[in-house]
Amino acid sequence: MEGAQLSKCVLYTWGANSHGQLGQGHAEDQAEPRRADGGLQAEQIRWVTGGGGHSAVITESGDLLMCGQNHKGQLGLSHTSEVITFQLCPLPGCTRVQQVSCGWDFSVILTGDGGQVLACGSNAFGQLGVSPRITHSAELLHVKTLNEPVTSVAAGLRHTLASTASGCVYQWGTGLSSHAKRMLNPQPVPAHLSSKEPCIVPGFDHVTSQKVVAGSTHCICLTVKGDVFLWGSNKHGQLVSESHFLPLPVALDRSLLQGERVIDVHSGWTHLVAITESGRVFTWGRANYGQLGQTNLSTEKESDIATSSGQSISRPIEVKALFGATQIACGSEHNLAVVETFQGLCHTLFEMNT
C-alpha cells in the first residue's frame, strides 16, 4: 500500500490490530486513534505506510521502524515473531532509508545511499526478486540484479515494481501471472508478468519514468512529463480500457483529465487517484465502498459503470471537493486527503469511504 509524508508529528494509529500492526503494545482492534509506542517516541516522522498486517515508519534521520505481522519475516528483524510496538529495523552499514512499500506479506525498501533495493518476507510468488529457492526471509536481502540506482519502488499484493535513474521500469513477482494466463490465452504471458527476478517492462523506450505505483493486480507508472501508463488487471475499470487485461503499458488519454499532465498518482487495491498540474483530483476504478469519493454514480453513463463485480467507474471523474489537495494516501479500499481551505488558514482531512 501507499505511504504518506509527515514531519514533526506524533503517530496515531487505529483500526484492525490482530497482529499488533498499530504499534500500541497490544493486539486489540482500536476504534479511536491512539498514540503508537516503541522506538519512534523522540523521532520526527517522514513516511508511514502499511501492508496486509504490518506497518512501517521512516524517520527524518532515515531510520526504518516496523511492527505487526511477521510470520514470513516481513519486518526484516531477523525473526518471525509478531511485534506489537515499533522496532528499529537494522540495515547494513550506515544505510538510510528513502522509501518503503509493504505488500500483503512482504516489504520492499529503497535506500537513500545509491538507490539500492532490499526486500524481506514471503517470496512464494518471487516478489522479493531474489533466488526462487528462497521461500521467505526474515533478513533484508539485496536485490542484486537491479544493478543501477533505483528511484522508486512499489509493492502490490504479490508483485513488485521499481523505476530506475535511467528511466526504466522493472517488474517481478508472479502475482499477475494467473490473471494474464486466463485473459491472454492462447497468447503467451509476457516475461515481466511471470518473472521471479527483476525483468524490464517493455514500452518505456521513449519516455522516462518518475514513479511506480502498484495495486493488488495492476501497475502504474508516472513519467517525468506527466503521463500515466497502466497495465495488468482491468477487472474494475482501473485501467480505463475496454480490455479485461493489459499485458503491456498503455498511456492514459490526457483528454480524460481535462488535457492536463499528472503530477502525482496513487492506488488502492482496485482504484486510482490522480492529481493534475492545476490541482484537480480525479478518481476511477472500483467504487463499492465509496472509495472514489463520488456521490453521483447513478448519473454516470451506463458504459462507464461495471456492475459484474461491484460498482465501478472506468474513466476518471473529478472530485471537486479535493481541489488543491496537498497530500493523498490510499489504503486498500479507502483514501485520505489533506486539503487547504480558507486561504490556507486551516487544513481539512477528507476520508473517501463509507
CA dist 284 and 278 (Å) reads: 19
CA dist 58 and 347 (Å) reads: 23
Average pLDDT, the chain: 88
C-alpha cell at 155: 509493492
Q: Is it the case that residue 261 has pLDDT exceeding 90?
A: yes
Q: Is it the case that residue 301 has pLDDT exceeding 90?
A: no
Q: Is it the case that residue 303 has pLDDT exceeding 50?
A: no
Residue 319: CB atoms within 10 Å: 21
Q: What percent of the chain has pLDDT over 90?
A: 68
User: Mind listing the pLDDT tens digit for each residue in 333-354?
Assistant: 878 787 876 544 444 455 555 4
Q: Is the four-CA dihedral 288, 289, 292, 296 of positive or negative sign?
A: positive
Whether the CB-CB separation of 339 and 326 falls below 8 Å is answered with: yes
Confidence of residue 316 (pLDDT cuts 50, 70, 90): very high
Confidence of residue 231 (pLDDT cuts 50, 70, 90): very high
pLDDT mean over 75-93: 94
Confidence of residue 41 (pLDDT cuts 50, 70, 90): low
pLDDT mean over 91-112: 92
Which pTM was predicted?
0.89
SS3 assignment, position 41: coil
Q: What angle do CA 291, 292, 294 make, to 5 degrees?
A: 120
Per-residue burial over 193-223, b = 16 or more CB atoms within 10 Å of its CB, e = otherwise: bbbbbbbebebbeebebbbbbbbbbbbbbbb
Confidence of residue 45 (pLDDT cuts 50, 70, 90): confident
Whether the CB-CB separation of 118 and 91 falls below 8 Å is answered with: yes
Burial class (CB in 10 A: 0-12, 13-18, 19+), 261: middle
Cis geometry, peptide bond prior to residue 186 (ω within 30 degrees of 0): yes
Q: Using only the alpha carbons of the chain, give its radius of gyration.
A: 19
User: Mind listing the pLDDT tens digit for each residue in 124-182?
Assistant: 999 999 999 999 999 999 999 998 999 999 999 999 999 999 999 999 999 999 989 99
Confidence of residue 14 (pLDDT cuts 50, 70, 90): confident
